[in-house]
Chain A
Amino acid sequence: MTAAQPCRVFVVEDEFLVALQIEDDLIAAGYLVVGPFTSLSTSIAASRAETFDVATLDLNLRGEFVYPLVDELLERHVPVLLLTGYAGSDLPERFRCLPRLTKPFDGSELISRIKSMVPAV
């Protein structure tokens, strides 16, 4: 990662209004947004095609859980931030220790979380 190459954030969020906000916030903070993707299938396909440094994933994509993608990303050692309205206890055991942001969240909250995982530049 170099200064010329801004940090790329893979965004999966089926609620487009929320996705817009995430996108706005990340761009404002100097990140490059890959996505947002709104369905599990398009997300998985995109994740394999695109390169990115970190992923923010909405848990529920129109009834489909994003877990297969999470597993795949964890396997690829990509840092993952879960964005969800669910409580931690609703998550499968193996995902409970992942960084998680509960909706609705503040833009600055999101950025600081992302920053703690990967610096923007």
Chain B
Amino acid sequence: MCSAETLPKFVLGDLGALGSPDFRAALDALAFAVYTTDAEGFVTYCNPAAADLAGRQPELGQDRWCVSWKLRRPDGSPLPHDECPMAMALKGRQPIRGQELVAVRPDGSTALLLPHPTPIFDASGELTGAVNLLVDISDHKSAEKDSRYLAAIVESSDDAIVTKDLNGIITSWNKGAERLFGYAHDEVVGKSITILMPPGYENEEPNILRRIRSGERIDHYQTTRRRKDGALIEISLTVSPVRDATGRIVGASKIARDITEQKRAGEALAARLREQAALYRLTERLHRAQDDSEVYEAALDAIQGALGCHRASILLFESTATMHFVAWRGLSSQYRGAVDGHSPWTAEEQDPEPIFLQDVAHAEALAALRPIIEAEGIAALGFIPLVADGRLIGKFMTYYDRPHVFTDNEIGVALTIARQLGFSIQRMRAEEARRVAEEQLRQNEATERARAAELMAIMEAVPASIWIARTPDCRVISGNRAAYELLRQAPDGNLSLSAPTGERPDNFRVFATGRMLAPEELPVQRAARGEDVQNFEEEIRFEDGTSRHVFGNATPLRDAAGEVIGAVAASVDITERKLVEEALRESERRLQIALGAGRMGAWEWNIGTGKVIWSPGLEALHDIEPGTFGGTFADFKRDIHPDDLPLVELEIARAMETREEYHVVYRIRLPDGSIRWMETFGQFSPQGAAKPGKLAGVCMDITERKEAESQRSLLVAELSHRVKNTLAIVSSIARQSFSINPDFHEAHRTFDARIRALAQTHTRLAEASWSGVSLETVLFDELAPYHDDARNNVTLAGPPTKLPPKYALTLGMAAHELATNAAKHGALSVKSGSVDIEWSARGTDRLRVRWSESGGPPVLAPKRNGFGRLLLERVLASDLGGEVQLEFAPQGLVCTIDIPYPREPSP
């Protein structure tokens, strides 16, 4: 006996799991024979069962390869230890299986063993040894015991059971063999088994015998044998070696079973399987097919595979309603060209049935096509319609080289393929349509995207600010670049004043007509509630005090159902325009002030439309109610003085011709008939344009100026008249002075004095702007040179009396003549003399002046009429229409002047 304790430690270590004491105990207790060796084949362990089987206790570390005393092959030949299966397994480094051998014990008995030598490798792949399990397959006792039953079984078996020796001579033949092969027991026992071999199968028997000899068993070998009556039968053979008691192979037993029916059924099954596989592949390939050609190829493969024809074709109706080949196998182009377009059905055919011609030679229906078909070598053919959505779309054809009976099964398969193919073609067409639609959609989308990109680019590029709210609550408003720049916000920020605190911009407020707007009053927010906000105008005031004015529109954004889903607003910055407008308004206001102050009005004549606009000021100048001007050129002309109208029209024509400033002075007639002078200036606008659009200008009432001008010319004329009149007077005085007085020097002095007196009165009149001068002043001026120191020699008494210029000049000259006469000859020529002058207004229209002298030398009446007297008597009378009385009284001259006295100074 061998035990675990006897095993060297290193061996145990090398055995790995076997080294475990539990495992070793298990091995020791095992009923199977087990032993191990090291890598060199030296036995390292042997369990008790193995020692029993070997009939000896092997010497561990000494016995090599094997634990048995001697070995033999199954055929009885000696087997050296170093060629035994264990040795081969170690040398070949792989397990050996199925090699039986005979172990010979020291007592001479044998055991037929089936060894299972298995090499063992460590983790690194090093061979560390081998383990062998020995199965004892010699059980003579049971075989002997069972032989009687076996014989009965063999005799009663339905299977043919035959034994033969190693030379192939039949040694036994049961009843089953008699039934199967038709030979009786006595006919064949002792004869070679080869009598059963049909021609062509002669080589089978030597092969079988060779394999039997080597101990091999042949299971279910299918082959063909010939019965006694010559019929061939399909059999399944199982051949096993037959050994003698020592295990030597001495013959073979054969069990044969008739499998003809079984095989036929199997072939039919295989055909079904093939069909099913072909249909399955078809289904799968059609499902995966990407285009028509893949569909056709899959269908042709299925037709060929499932219908067993190596030629096939598919034809489809085209738009011309004729069928044409779309795919084919094994057809010449001549054939296709000849039959293309032929069809047993029209495109309108309802529920077409497949047509099968099993023998072309006898198919009358083919008519003229038959020679063509026969020339192509086609002997049978099938037309299977392809239907999709209840409509015939084409067919597929099967062609056979020999006349062919179309079985129900084939027809069923053909129709199945046709259904699948029709469906797939339909699917491909739908797919194509879908693909086209998708492509269209993709293109549309691409177009949309391009358009969107374009819109985005436009949006970014436009100088207008654009705001977009994508929800009705406007909590988020985005915008284009211009919008962010306008509101001075970083791009992509939220521009909504409706946003919660912290998210909304706080650097500006929005005002409209001076009032701050709440967020919900803003255009985008209003539009997001469905309102179309047209022409809004807002002022955006920034925290730094500056502001921008914007003008724009806001409109709701709606989804396909018309629901408002947001809003968009666009606006332009009109700040500059606002400023210009403001400046313009200011300048207009100033102009109005200027026009009003200067009695001016403004007008504009649109030459294209003929419309004439007058400012209220101009209407006032024309003395019509504001807003009642008719507004046409004719209305303008109506007021113009008829004498001046040609001039005005001429000036307008000239200005239009030369494109220069229009300037004309003309008269107008007011509703009350009065005449006013107008001066107008105008300019064409736009300036420099080829065709004038408007003539606009101002008009002023220059009547006062005109009157002043005429007054002035009147004054100038008057002045000239007076000066010249005065010169005429002076000339007359000179003549009187010099012609009467022979003493030149005296005459000169007199003349001088007269001129001075005249000048003095002129001076007084000039001081009073020629409005007149008082009588007292005139008299005083003439008498002043003759006053004594106490001014007692002259007295003036009378009411304040204002003399018109003519009266003053004439009375002044008269007073001068009286005074000089008094000084020379009368009261003022002596110290005691005096002159008393009294005047009174008699009634209301006469003036009476009394000059009386006293205390002077005796008065003498003058010898001749001197200038003074002429002046007094004639000039006063004729110039002033007065009466003058000269009384040369002895005490002194008395002169009484009685003249009409006008209440008011004459002009």
A contact set with B: CB distance below 8 Å: 14-21, 24, 36, 38-39, 59-60, 62-63, 84-87, 90, 102-105
Whether B729 is near chain A, meaning CB under 8 Å from some CB there, is yes
On whether the beta carbons of B907 and A63 are closer than 8 Å, the reply is yes
Q: Which of B713-759 contact A (CB under 8 A)?
A: 713, 717, 720-725, 727-733, 735-736
On whether the beta carbons of A90 and B717 are closer than 8 Å, the reply is yes
On whether the beta carbons of A19 and B878 are closer than 8 Å, the reply is yes
The digit string for B149-170, where 1 denotes a CB below 8 A from any CB of A, is 0000000000000000000000
B contact set with A: CB distance below 8 Å: 713, 717, 720-725, 727-733, 735-736, 806, 870-871, 874-875, 878-879, 881, 906-907
Cα–Cα distance between A90 and B710 once the two chains are bound (Å): 11
On whether the beta carbons of B875 and A102 are closer than 8 Å, the reply is no
Given A14-B879, A15-B729, A102-B724 contact (CB < 8 Å): yes
On whether the beta carbons of B727 and A38 are closer than 8 Å, the reply is no
Cα–Cα distance between A84 and B731 once the two chains are bound (Å): 15
Contacts of A85 in B (CB 8 A): 720-725, 728
Given A17-B732, A18-B729, A21-B732, A104-B724 contact (CB < 8 Å): yes
Cα–Cα distance between A59 and B721 once the two chains are bound (Å): 9
Contacts of A90 in B (CB 8 A): 713, 717, 720
Partner of A60, one of B721, B729, B736, B881: B721
Task: Pull 17 A–B residue pairs with CB atoms less than 8 Å apart, ordered by A.
Answer: A15-B879, A16-B875, A16-B879, A17-B728, A17-B871, A18-B728, A18-B731, A18-B732, A24-B735, A85-B722, A87-B720, A103-B721, A103-B725, A103-B728, A104-B727, A104-B728, A104-B731
On whether the beta carbons of B721 and A18 are closer than 8 Å, the reply is no
- Total A-B contacts with CB atoms under 8 angstroms apart: 72
On whether the beta carbons of A20 and B874 are closer than 8 Å, the reply is yes
Contacts of A60 in B (CB 8 A): 721
Contacts of B720 in A (CB 8 A): 85-87, 90
Cα–Cα distance between A38 and B722 once the two chains are bound (Å): 16
Contacts of B735 in A (CB 8 A): 21, 24
Give the top 3 A-B pairs by smallest Cβ distance, nearest first: A85-B724, A85-B721, A17-B732
On whether the beta carbons of A103 and B724 are closer than 8 Å, the reply is yes
Cα–Cα distance between A119 and B875 once the two chains are bound (Å): 30
Given A20-B874, A86-B717, A87-B717, A63-B725 contact (CB < 8 Å): no
Given A63-B906, A85-B721, A103-B878 contact (CB < 8 Å): no
On whether the beta carbons of B727 and A103 are closer than 8 Å, the reply is yes
Cα–Cα distance between A63 and B902 once the two chains are bound (Å): 14
CB closest chain-A residue, reference B879: A16
Contacts of B730 in A (CB 8 A): 104
Cα–Cα distance between A103 and B723 once the two chains are bound (Å): 9
Cα–Cα distance between A82 and B372 once the two chains are bound (Å): 146
Given A63-B907, A85-B725, A104-B724, A16-B731 contact (CB < 8 Å): no
Cα–Cα distance between A103 and B720 once the two chains are bound (Å): 9
Q: Most chain-B CB neighbours within 10 Å: which of A21, A87, A105?
A: A21
On whether the beta carbons of B723 and A21 are closer than 8 Å, the reply is no
Cα–Cα distance between A19 and B879 once the two chains are bound (Å): 10
Cα–Cα distance between A87 and B720 once the two chains are bound (Å): 8
Contacts of A102 in B (CB 8 A): 724
Nearest-CB distance from B851 to chain A (Å)?
20
Main secondary structure of the interface of B (DSSP, over half): helix
Cα–Cα distance between A104 and B730 once the two chains are bound (Å): 9
CB closest chain-B residue, reference A20: B732
CB closest chain-B residue, reference A60: B721
Q: Most chain-A CB neighbours within 10 Å: which of B725, B731, B733?
A: B725
Cα–Cα distance between A20 and B725 once the two chains are bound (Å): 13
Contacts of B727 in A (CB 8 A): 103-104
Given A17-B732, A90-B717, A38-B725 contact (CB < 8 Å): no
Contacts of B728 in A (CB 8 A): 15, 17-18, 21, 85, 103-105
Contacts of B875 in A (CB 8 A): 16-17, 20
On whether the beta carbons of A38 and B879 are closer than 8 Å, the reply is yes
Cα–Cα distance between A59 and B806 once the two chains are bound (Å): 16
On whether the beta carbons of B721 and A86 are closer than 8 Å, the reply is yes
Cα–Cα distance between A103 and B728 once the two chains are bound (Å): 6
On whether the beta carbons of B731 and A62 are closer than 8 Å, the reply is no
Nearest-CB distance from A33 to chain B (Å)?
13
Cα–Cα distance between A20 and B906 once the two chains are bound (Å): 24
Nearest-CB distance from A71 to chain B (Å)?
20
Nearest-CB distance from B881 to chain A (Å)?
8
CB closest chain-B residue, reference A103: B724
Contacts of A17 in B (CB 8 A): 728-729, 732-733, 736, 871, 875
CB closest chain-A residue, reference B721: A85
Q: Most chain-B CB neighbours within 10 Å: which of A14, A84, A85?
A: A85
Contacts of B724 in A (CB 8 A): 84-85, 102-104
Contacts of A20 in B (CB 8 A): 732, 736, 870, 874-875
Given A21-B735, A38-B879, A86-B717, A15-B725 contact (CB < 8 Å): yes
CB closest chain-A residue, reference B906: A63
On whether the beta carbons of B732 and A84 are closer than 8 Å, the reply is no
On whether the beta carbons of B721 and A84 are closer than 8 Å, the reply is yes
On whether the beta carbons of B878 and A38 are closer than 8 Å, the reply is yes
Nearest-CB distance from B263 to chain A (Å)?
155
Cα–Cα distance between A77 and B874 once the two chains are bound (Å): 32
Cα–Cα distance between A19 and B319 once the two chains are bound (Å): 135
Cα–Cα distance between A14 and B720 once the two chains are bound (Å): 16
Contacts of A59 in B (CB 8 A): 721
Cα–Cα distance between A109 and B195 once the two chains are bound (Å): 196
Nearest-CB distance from A25 to chain B (Å)?
10
Given contacts A17-B871, A63-B907, 5 further A-B contacts (CB under 8 A): A16-B874, A21-B732, A38-B881, A103-B728, A104-B727
Cα–Cα distance between A20 and B722 once the two chains are bound (Å): 18
Contacts of A36 in B (CB 8 A): 878
Contacts of A24 in B (CB 8 A): 735
Contacts of A39 in B (CB 8 A): 881
Nearest-CB distance from A47 to chain B (Å)?
17
Cα–Cα distance between A48 and B902 once the two chains are bound (Å): 27
Contacts of B907 in A (CB 8 A): 63
Nearest-CB distance from B817 to chain A (Å)?
12
Contacts of B713 in A (CB 8 A): 90
On whether the beta carbons of B806 and A62 are closer than 8 Å, the reply is yes
Cα–Cα distance between A69 and B87 once the two chains are bound (Å): 183
Given A14-B879, A62-B906, A85-B723, A21-B874 contact (CB < 8 Å): no
Contacts of A104 in B (CB 8 A): 724, 727-728, 730-731
Cα–Cα distance between A21 and B874 once the two chains are bound (Å): 13
Cα–Cα distance between A85 and B723 once the two chains are bound (Å): 8
Contacts of A105 in B (CB 8 A): 728
On whether the beta carbons of B725 and A18 are closer than 8 Å, the reply is yes
Cα–Cα distance between A20 and B724 once the two chains are bound (Å): 16
CB closest chain-A residue, reference B878: A16
Nearest-CB distance from A80 to chain B (Å)?
18
